[in-house]
Structure 1
Amino acid sequence: MQKNTATHDFKSGEKFTGPRVLLVGYNGANNTGSEARLLTIIDDIRSLLGPHVQITVPTLNEENLRRYLDEDEYLHIAPIPSIFFFAIDKLVKEHDLVLLVEGSCYMDTWTSALLWAFLWATRSAHKQKKPCVAYAVDAGELSSLNRWLVKREASKTDLIITRTMHAQKRLEEIGVTAPLNSTADCAFTFSPEPKDHDFLTKIWPEVSNGVVGLAVVDFSLWPVVIRPWGRKENLYKWPYYFSRSRERMNTREKLVKGWARIADQIIKEHSKEVALIGMEALDQPLAQDILRGMENKDSCRVISSNEYNASQMTSMLSQLDLLVTSRYHSAVLSLRALVPQIAVGHDPRLTSFYQDLHLFPDYFLHHDDPNLWEDLNQKIGLLLDNTDLQKDTLEEGLTQQVNLSQKNRIILGEFLKENGTMPGED
């Protein structure tokens, strides 16, 4: 990486000096986890390369990204088109270091297009001889084609830091030969702003007996597929369309009915309020349908990343009496407050995390378990009646995960020293 490389501001044309860092990820999707990760990674980079380091964040959703990221002379937002190959090549050429910052990096659970974007950025950096680091990322389910692509292209990465040991093992099994290291997710070191203290109480002052959070995911939407055309209601951003079929719609309807029944049981049996949590914008329609299907609507609210930023959502999560989650980052961001939790999982991320926390299999349920809703209701009752049941396990897990997360910055700093020039060096 070059030190004090003279270049030009992408908008004003004014000259500046300093290393240039490109952050390639799922930026601007109103996703609380991605937002928390991005802000933490920006802090990590500035702590290592100084406050004048030039950082560029590419995005398909510029308007959303500007909700929580303030552009200035050192931080740049770069809109890119849906067909991203040439845009990524150009951005890589303009920068000195490429970081892959999306947690769900090496998996095609959501869509192959995201995976290909990250692999293309790696390929472009390798071709242009720019250092490339995958920063605290995960690995999960992959098709045969994508396993082959990951083996070929991810091996060109200069360093891959995985956020679990399980992810590192998956990449090794695939045959990735890049240097590998495992730590924990960046979001473990993310903290809400002081102004957002007691945020849940501020937005829901009527609560008197505590809140149980249900962080839901519409599994039926995924994966997003690439098509030249399709139904308008299924369009995410051309040419990407949500998956739809009669079977998928039946799955969604079962989710709505199951979650609605669980929410009503929590309210009636435990006298708690229920927050239906949308950790990503795409979770909100499912949460709203669940609310419509409930009997006790007055004791329930939808709390969504469409309305609130990562600081506010994290503060809200920390005030819950119990979290039931299908979202990885709601589990991560609530851990600092030692909120008891149960997972309803649908991909390897929560499975790996619960294994690390030693909550698997006792507090982990798969979304297609035949007795899902009965078992979930039982576990909810157990934890609400025994509020300290998980306390020691969560405390131990928190200490371990925070310590591992703090190593991300250290490992990146060592990489920069070995592969370039840190500020203050000749």
Structure 2
Amino acid sequence: MMDLILAYIVRVMVWLSGLARPLAKLGIGRYESYTPGQPLKILLVGYNGARNTGADARVVALTQQLEQTMGADKAELTVMTLDLENVKGYFTGAVHLLHFSSVFIFSLVRACSRHHAAILCEGSTLTPTFAEALCVFFCEAAGIMHRQGKPCIAYGSEVGKLSGWLAKLSRDLCCDTYFMVRTEESLRNLQQLGLKGHVGTDTAWTFQSPEGESWALQQLKEAGWDGRQPLMGVAPLNPFCWPVRPSVWRWLKALITRDFSQQYDKIYFFSDNATRRQLFERYLTAMADATNRYSREHNAFVVIFGMEKLDARVCDQLEQRIASKHAVFTSKTSDVFKMTGLLRQLNILLTSRYHASVLSMERAIPIVAVSIDARLNGIMNEVGLAQQYLHHATDEHLEEGIMTSLQMAGEHEQEIGNNIRQHLTIYKNKTEAMSQYYAKWLKEQF
């Protein structure tokens, strides 16, 4: 209900955003109109600053791709961030940062009004897996740009199967937004909404971190790795605490009881009930037991990854169940370069995080995935690993399935590596084609 109310408020804000230009002429607020010859002011609308390794890697790589393709003299990039400190050192000096709050309805109007074009740069652009409010956020940005007659594109995005009010909101506010989606499934979902686009890929394929890799080797040795043991990575999450939903009632209850354990941010709370907790316990047990068996049989050193700041609690719970030598690294304390550097030291990866797989594939290591949605399903299918190495968090015999896949991965390491290397070249070529397409598309808009 709260998300639906938010959607109605957003529709009103989108309509009001059309008044930004005449109000600016009266000296109320700021509004940017493009003048030929000046650099285009491009706003990157995403989920940055929350210490989500994948979200940050995507946008760092995207800004590098656009700077290389368009040139700093022709485009002035601004990245929206929830926390300025959390993205410190991520971007070149030519990239501007703009702070915004998770209560975004007003800040989006101000940000869009001050730019000539917008890029929706979060992977989960129109997917309700994590939060319907996240979809509403991107719909508002797209709607404002449409209302103000400015171009907007979704870049390397995922589009889920939407229905009801969220599907209608997306159709209405994204009607003029062009989508470069990550997968064929996303394109089909996009077309069912009546929106336009084509298949590209994720932007993080070109992300590089040489300094992070040097740092990672030293940190692993300090954590107890002998430099010879195989490194097994595990990137868990809580698949059953999503989606996040706004609730004034739960916020008031938390204030009274002083129990904020289920709070995501402000009035947003994780999904929680006895069934979800039971499913998570089963998932965590399967991940831990399979990891212990594999590390014991292969004398592997285990590296636990918290790819998002929110995963730190899950990593703590998993660590308590790991019997072998291990280390824990989370994005709460390690930035995107360090986390990527660590991923690229591994010999094998067990992951429920999409970008753990993307960022590790630079080294073409075997990957076993435990999926919660279409993102890992898509990439594992694309690289030909789904049949033997893809599982789902709700699988009945999850531990045995994971263990079988881990053993097979070790036996077919070369074959898996060849598959990944072949597709990695394709993905990188696609990112280049996407930036070229965007530069051409943007030129046509002006």
TM-score of the aligned structures, taking structure 2 as reference length: 0.85
Would you tell me which structure has more helix in proportion to its own residues?
Answer: 2
When residues 222 and 154 of structure 1 are mapped into structure 2, their CA distance, relative to the original with a 3 A threshold, is same
1:290-326 Cα shifts (integer Å, max 9, x gaps): 1112333xx1111211222222222221221111111
Which of 203, 210, 216 is equivalent to 2:219? Answer: 203
Which residue identity is paired with 1:36? A
What is residue 67 of structure 2 aligned with on the other side?
46
**2:13 matched residue in structure 1:** none
For residues 48 and 252 of structure 1, the distance between their equivalents in structure 2, rounded to whole angstroms, comes to 44
Aligned pairs for 1:232-381 within 5 A: 232-296=260-324, 299-381=325-407
Q: In the alignment, what sits opposite 1:14?
A: none
3-state DSSP of counterpart to 1:212: strand
1:226 aligns with 2:243: no
- Contact 1:23-1:99 at 8 Å conserved across structures: yes
Cα distance in 2 for partners of 1:309, 1:82 equals 21
1:54 counterpart SS class: strand
Structure 1 residues 236 and 204: alpha-carbon distance in aligned structure 2, compared to 1, 3 A threshold: same
Q: What SS does structure 2 have at the residue aligned with 1:204?
A: helix
Work out the percentage of aligned pairs sharing the same amino acid.
28
Q: CA deviation at 1:67?
A: 6.1
Cα separation, 1, equivalents of 2:88 and 2:249: 29
Q: Do structure 1's residue 183 and structure 2's residue 200 form an aligned pair?
A: yes
The code of the aligned residue for 1:345 comes to: S
From 393, 397, 410, give the equivalent of 2:423: 397
- Which position in structure 2 is the counterpart of 1:126? 146
Separation in 2 of the partners of 1:380 and 1:199?
A: 27
Give the residue type in structure 2 aligned to 1:260.
A
CA deviations over 1:61-90 (Å, ceiling 9, x no partner): 3332336357x5x43322223321121111
Aligned in 2, Cα 1:66/1:197: closer, same or farther, shift over 3 Å?
A: closer
The answer to whether structure 1 residue 20 and structure 2 residue 41 are counterparts is yes
In 2, the alpha carbon distance for the partners of 1:48 and 1:387 equals 36
Q: Deviations over 1:162-212 (max 9, x none)?
A: 122221122112322x3x1211111111111x3233443211113321111
2:400 is paired with a residue whose SS is helix
Tell me how far 1:223 sits from its aligned partner: 0.4
SS of the residue corresponding to residue 99 of structure 1 reads strand
1:245-303 CA-to-partner distances (Å, cap 9, x unmatched) read: 1112222222222222122112211110111111111112101111112333xx11112
- Give the AA of the match of 1:316: L
Alpha carbons of structure 1 residues 390 and 197: separation in structure 2 relative to 1, 3 Å: same
* Deviation (angstroms), 1:131: 0.8
Residue number in structure 2 paired with 1:142: 162
* 8 Å contact kept, 1:92–1:124: yes
Amino acid at match of 2:207: F
The answer to whether the aligner puts 1:108 opposite 2:128 as a matched pair is yes
Equivalent residue, structure 1, for 2:444? 418
For residue 50 of structure 2, give the secondary structure of its aligned residue in structure 1.
coil
Q: Say whether residues 1:64 and 2:82 are aligned partners.
A: no
Identify the range of structure 1 (357-366 vs 194-203) with the bigger mean alpha-carbon deviation: 194-203
Instruction: Tell whether the 8 Å contact from 1:165 to 1:183 is kept in structure 2 after alignment.
Output: no
Q: Which moved more, 1:127-136 or 1:390-399?
A: 390-399
Deviates more, 1:322-331 or 1:135-144: 135-144
Which of 27, 37, 51 is the matching residue for 2:58? Answer: 37
Spell out structure 1 runs of 4+ moving beyond 6 A: none
Deviations 1:114-142 (A, max 9, x none): 11000000000000011111111111243
Q: CA deviation at 1:229?
A: 4.2
- The alpha carbon displacement at 1:58 in A equals 2.0
Residue 424 of structure 1 corresponds to: none
- Of the candidates 176, 180, 183, which is equivalent to residue 164 of structure 1? 183
Q: Is 2:69–2:436's contact at 8 Å kept on the other side of the alignment?
A: no
Quote the Cα distance in structure 1 between the aligned partners of 2:436 and 2:90: 26
Contact 1:24–1:118 (CA under 8 A) maintained in structure 2: yes
| Distance in 1 between residues matched to 2:346 and 2:175, nearest whole Å | 42
1:336 aligned counterpart, secondary structure: helix
Q: Which residue of 2 aligns with 1:94?
A: 114
RMSD of aligned alpha carbons: 2.0
Q: TM-score, normalised by structure 1?
A: 0.88
How far, CA to CA, are the matches of 1:109 and 1:38 in structure 2?
21
Alignment partners' CA distance in 2, 1:59 and 1:402: 26
Give me the whole-angstrom Cα distance separating, in 1, the residues matched to 2:431 and 2:98: 28
Q: C-alpha separation between the residues in 2 aligned to 1:246 and 1:61? A: 33
